[in-house]
Amino acid sequence: MKTSIFDTFKLTNQLTGKAKRQRKIIKIIGGNKIPEQRTKVEISRIIGTENKQSWKNSYSGVYDDIEKVLLPQKIIEEEGRIPLKRGPRLLQNEGTGYYKLTKIGTLLLFCIEDSKVEIDFTEFTHNQDLGKELNLLYRISPTLCFLLLEKYTSTMCMKREEIIPITLEKINKITDVLYCNLKFIKSILSCNKENQEKMLQILSHIYSKH
């Protein structure tokens, strides 16, 4: 994987411009059902409008991200072509491509949309039991499931390793996050109901001040 969607500046820990643009491209492609809104020009137009710029200023970056990163890394794929009404006859006949997310792209969309995208994890694992367990975790605690998968995908991207299929061996590479959360959950479950309620009140108070 060579995607930049998790890249941040070292000093500020904020997402880089390239990371924001690639995330936006994935969101646009994954969130629009109309083919005409999933071409390079229309994606550039949407991003340009949000940035209060001409679409032409966004096009080169969008073109490079799609052609050099998202397509080669199988995050998106061409779904079809739309005929052009203007330009050279050859280009009119060939048309312009529009895109859709692959399974990898769908999983990345889940991780950058903060669990707003519902997916069936059995489609992303060879081990059906693992997929069912992830589905159950998502139903019980969407936030915890998002945290796990976001850390998993970002680690795989940083290590330049394949995201799919999701395996226990790969998940074990983020044991620091798993251990911290597992220890926290066990500590709450080990308390009596009165202390559980007190702990939740404390956490709610801390969160409200965040």
Task: Give pLDDT tens digits along the chain (210 positions).
Answer: 678 898 999 888 899 999 999 999 999 999 999 999 999 999 999 999 999 999 999 999 999 999 999 999 999 999 999 887 765 565 667 788 999 999 999 999 999 876 567 889 999 999 889 999 999 989 888 888 888 888 899 888 888 889 999 998 888 877 666 666 677 777 777 888 888 888 778 777 776 654
The rounded distance, in Å, linking the Cα atoms of 54 and 19 is 20
C-alpha 109 chain-centroid distance = 3
Q: What are phi and psi of 39, to 5 degrees?
A: -95, 165
Q: What's the CATH fold of domain 17-101?
A: Arc Repressor Mutant, subunit A (1.10.10)
Q: What is the dihedral of CA 98, 72, 159, 135, to 10 degrees?
A: 40
Q: Which of 70, 60, 53, 152 is nearest to 110 (CA)?
A: 152
Q: Give the pLDDT confidence score for residue 80 in this predicted structure.
A: 94
Q: Which of 46, 52, 20, 18 is nearest to 32 (CA)?
A: 46
Cβ 73 vs Cβ 1: under 8 Å: yes
Q: Give the pLDDT confidence score for residue 184 in this predicted structure.
A: 73
Q: What is the 3-state secondary structure (H, E, C) of 14-82?
A: CECHHHHHHHHHHHHHHHCCCHHHHEHHHHHHHHHHHCCCCHHHHHHHHHHHHHHHHCCCCCEEEEEEE
Q: Give the pLDDT confidence score for residue 210 in this predicted structure.
A: 47
Cβ 95 vs Cβ 55: under 8 Å: no
Q: Where in the chain is the domain with CATH 1.10.10?
A: 17-101
Instruction: Return the axis-axis angle of helices 103-112 and 17-31, rounded to nearest 10°.
Output: 110
